[in-house]
A = this chain, B = another copy of it.
């Protein structure tokens, strides 16, 4: 097969980890007889530096013409003082909206080889296998008004949590679909005892559940979910929630297993292209030091092979290669523990390629 992939390295360690995914994909192409064509675009702070905007039109065009998008990371202290609409993050928010990436999928998985690096006790996290499905283009992130205002002559401010019912429906439906090929359980997280939007969310979830009698639905309040995630993460299979709750809970989930630098994500739209990015940020503190962990980006590429290109065997080959390299004791600095071999970003990439 021939596939066109838009590559947006972004800022910080983005460039370094994206390189890893590309090299691994090239190795996959050779082994399985596919042609991957990579085109580069700018996003985030580096796009602002080059073109005065965190998401140039060319980048958006490039993405729309591609079969899939790979993104490194955006942001850094250099751009922190800029007005909101010129910040690196705005590039990310805009690409999500423009490509209609309504759902962000984040698997969190237990790696026995990494249990030393987790802050949680091994018996709490052993066997954790959860998939967070976060609504990505609605809610507080995009609702209007979002502005300074006045009340009785006093300074005030307003943000708006807005959802169309249909926006809830498609992401909750996706969660149920995904649960079918897993352990058939959906935990829908909301704050229905306070928010009207959460009460609608709960109704929609109940409604969709009727079409999936084979999938168990449970509702959980967001504050309780933040607790349960730590107390007993094994109870979760698929977790679905709105944008802001999802931002908080999926980051919380990502540190449970001690493998933040290992976790991939996929952002899904109705008609493609999908976007793949690691969960970690641009990590300006280790930028240029050849110390970043490229595995999250490499596993994001594996998700792309599976979800965008239907290449299940190829995806598994990449995932197995990563597992073997970890079993063999190779570690970047973020996941190192006693007795393991510390390697650089490029060495880790070489190991994964060689194992493939």
Contact = CB atoms under 8 A, between A and B. Distances in A.
Interface of A: 75, 84, 87, 89, 93, 118-121, 124, 140-141, 143, 146-148, 151, 154-166, 191, 193-197, 199-200, 222-224, 226-227, 229-232, 244-245, 247-252, 254-256, 260
As for how many copies of this chain the complex holds, the number is 2
Given A119-B232, A230-B256, 5 more contacts: A87-B193, A156-B163, A160-B160, A222-B247, A230-B255
A248 B230 contact: no
Contacts of A254: 227
Contacts of A140: 161, 194-195
Main DSSP-derived SS at the A contact region = helix
10 contacts: A119-B230, A141-B194, A147-B196, A155-B166, A156-B162, A157-B165, A157-B197, A159-B160, A224-B251, A230-B252
A98 B224 CA distance: 26
A207 to B, nearest CB: 12
B248 A196 contact: no
B197 A158 contact: yes
Given A120-B120, A120-B121, A226 B227 contact: no
A232 B258 CA distance: 12
Given A157-B162, A159-B195, A251 B231 contact: no
Nearest to A169: B155
Contacts of A158: 143, 160-162, 196-197
List 10 A-B pairs, minimum CB-CB distance, nearest first: A155-B165, A223-B251, A226-B252, A159-B161, A119-B124, A89-B193, A157-B200, A156-B164, A157-B197, A227-B255
Contact of A164 (B154, B161, B244): B154
